[in-house]
Structure 1
Amino acid sequence: MTPAPAAGILEEAATHAGLDASTAIPLRTGAHAIYELDGGIIARIGKPGSADTARRELRISHWLNHSGIPTVQAVETLPQPVVVDSYPVTWWQLIPDHRPATPAELGTALAQLHILTPPTTFDLVEYQPFAGLEDRITTATTLTDDDRQWLTRHYVILRQRYEQLPPVTRASVIHGDAWQGNLVVPRSGTPTFLDLDKVSLGRPEWDLVQLAVDHTDFTRIDTDDYEAFVAAYGGYDMTAAPEFRVYADIQELRWTAFVISLSHHKPAARAEAAHRIACLRGHIPKPWQWNAL
């Protein structure tokens, strides 16, 4: 979402909720737009048509906090969500003066999350690691024919490899996008989860693979920090698991497909997508350097 329409949606939603958006500070634009309003209120504008997802995030926040998992809290005195032109706007309490979690803090928080009993008052969706991937590849307008064919074959192979994994004995509550920026630590010292739109039931490995590949394929996490993450989680080192590459390859294809989806209107994304595809195809040796978008 570009800043101009996001600002208009925010203004209309704020008026409906009795808030003043004239001094709102944009914090992030993209798939979601996030603004800080006066009074310690954070506005989050979701994707068009995602009001049900927004309602689910609100329920998840309430449930996790009451289950002993510190999570960003909704402002319960405001109407939630406010839908403007199919865009849901939700209101959250500001977490001031926070920093990203350390790998050890993330490992501890995930260990607590993964043993949580699923909710009984509503259903969590099943995590879908391949959701939207094929469509992003087949509909992309910026790919060469050769890259599209390779990505399609790669996608099919990864689905086959994933479907051959041993069945899970118990699905865990997972965050779905677990990295240090989605667990923040305020002055109180209590690590707090953010971005709840992918919270679901699934294999816990999906919450472990991001730091694992940050260590093995990108060297963004050094050995000491990664070992601290493993120890805090309880000693399970995903990089030593025989199925590690299945999860790693799927995760890296997901990251690449996301950038592909942006490349039709962002020149920087088009260049980054080409770079990531070259990495996946083995044309660029590891450790890789990928730019965030």
Structure 2
Amino acid sequence: MSSPEPIEASALAILEQAAAISGIDPTRAELVRAGSNTIYRVGDIIGRVGKAGTTDAAEQELRISQWLNASGLPAVHIADVAIPLVVVDDRPITWWQRIPAHRAATPAELATTLRQLHALAPPTTFVLPEYEPFAGLRRAITSTGRLAAEDRAWLLDHHDRLCDQHFELGPPARKSVIHGDAWQGNLVVPFGGRPIIVDLDRVSLSRPEWDLIPIAADHTDFDRLSEADYLAFVDAYGADITTNPAFRLLADIQELRWTVFALSRSATSENAAGQVRHRLACLRGEIGRPWRWDAL
């Protein structure tokens, strides 16, 4: 099994080069998380090292942060540095203000923020992309080696069935600005402060129901959210996605995405490989709901 150390060492070297360009002292850099972005804490500044070829997406995140804050919806702020975006070896490094001590949002706080987000008119100074729920899924299913042939064939067929059903669903009645990865951990609440939206890389335009699916599925399919907490979410938002005829399809697509995410990590993680097998059994109906899926 490959080790993450070389990736983290490479990201740290890139961070240090970017820090020198931006006028930041990187000697106290601490690794926070290594994932799709590698995150470091440098004093009161957060450095995000993106993957190669993602500079356009990093620039978009900076624009979204400025636009949301100007619109009255607090989002993670760009750090006050000379150059907030630096590119080293085709990898973008962005600098952000560190959020003070905080907690994850409650379901009701998340719902309130989503209602406000969905009511915003799209920005006029730049273009948000259309949300693409199937983007990259087929390639990920076909390219990984940690999948038995029969499992790969079933997952591809499941993907294609859902894709066809989604196409038949037709365009949404209205398109809203959506977060694209709306869960309680992506809305943080500083002690004594207002909720702050984080992880802006999937902000896009689509049907607002996408942002309601993760919480609803937590309640209906995973039993991770109590009836009282889910009702608080519904009351604060003003709608219950589980009564929408499209709920089951959208939830199935989201759960496919969560399964493919585990698949994408399975080459270097036995835990992720085990989760792929377990999640496939759930999707096939071999394990009844409520399901228990480990976080990755």
Relative to the length of structure 1, the TM-score reads 0.97
The residue type equivalent to 1:37 in the other structure is: V
Counterpart-to-counterpart distance in 2, 1:122 and 1:92: 21
How far does the alpha carbon of each residue in 1:228-257 deviate from its partner, in whole angstroms, 9 at most, with x for none?
A: 0010001x1111111111100000000110
Question: Does 2:245 align with 1:245?
Answer: no
Q: Distance in 2 between matches of 1:34 and 1:78?
A: 20
Q: Does 1:24 align with 2:29?
A: yes
Segment of structure 1 superposing worse, 116-125 or 166-175: 166-175
2:27 counterpart SS class: coil
**Counterpart in 2 of 1:10?**
15
Residue matched to 2:291 = 288
Query: In 2, distance between residues paired with 1:207 and 1:144?
Result: 32
**What does the per-residue CA deviation read over 1:111-140, in whole Å, with 9 as the maximum and x for residues that have no partner?**
000010001111000000000000011111
Q: Paired residues, what number?
A: 291
Instruction: Identify the residue that residue 41 of structure 2 maps to in structure 1.
Output: 36
Q: Which letter maps to 2:83?
A: P
Say if 2:266 is the partner of 1:263.
Answer: yes
Partner Cα distance (2:120, 2:181) in 1: 17
Q: Residue 276 of structure 1 corresponds to which residue in structure 2?
A: 279
Compute the displacement of 1:167 (Å): 2.4
Structure 1: unaligned runs, 5 residues or longer: none
Give the alignment partner of residue 97 of structure 2, picking from 93, 108, 124.
93
Give 1:213's match in structure 2, choosing from 217, 220, 224: 217
Within a 5 Å distance, the mapping from 1:141-156 to structure 2 comes to 141-156=145-160
Q: Which residue of 1 aligns with 2:135?
A: 131
Per the alignment, in what secondary structure is the counterpart of residue 28 of structure 2? coil
CA distance, structure 1, for counterparts of residue 104 and residue 198 of structure 2: 11
AA aligned to 1:53 is A
For residue 76 of structure 1, report the CA deviation from its aligned partner. Answer: 4.1
Q: Which residue of 2 aligns with 1:164?
A: 168
1:3 to partner: Cα distance: 1.9
Pick aligned residue for 1:81 from 75, 82, 85: 85
Partner of 2:68: 64
Greater shift in the superposed pair: 136-145 or 70-79: 70-79
SS in 2 for 1:73: coil
Q: Partner of 1:226 in structure 2?
A: 230
**1:140-167 C-alpha deviation (Å, 9 max, x unpaired):** 1111111111101101110111111142
Q: Secondary structure at the match of 1:22?
A: helix
Partner letter of residue 271 of structure 2? Answer: A
What SS does the corresponding residue of 2:290 show, helix, strand or coil?
Answer: coil
Match of 1:174 in 2: 178
**Aligned mates of 1:168, 1:250 — CA distance in 2:** 16
Question: Is 1:102 paired with 2:106?
Answer: yes
Equivalent in 189, 204, 223 of residue 185 of structure 1: 189
Ranges in structure 2 where 5+ consecutive residues have no aligned partner: none
Which stretch of the first structure deviates more once superposed, 87-96 or 164-173? Answer: 164-173
Distance 1:209 1:146 in 2: 29
Separation in 2 of the partners of 1:277 and 1:85? 37
TM-score (norm. length: structure 2): 0.96
Larger deviation: 264-273 or 102-111?
A: 264-273
The separation in 2 between residues aligned to 1:278 and 1:22, in whole angstroms, is 47
Letter in 2 for 1:169: A
What is the percentage of aligned positions where both structures have the same residue?
Answer: 55
Q: Structure 1 stretch 55-64 or stretch 17-26: which is displaced more?
A: 17-26
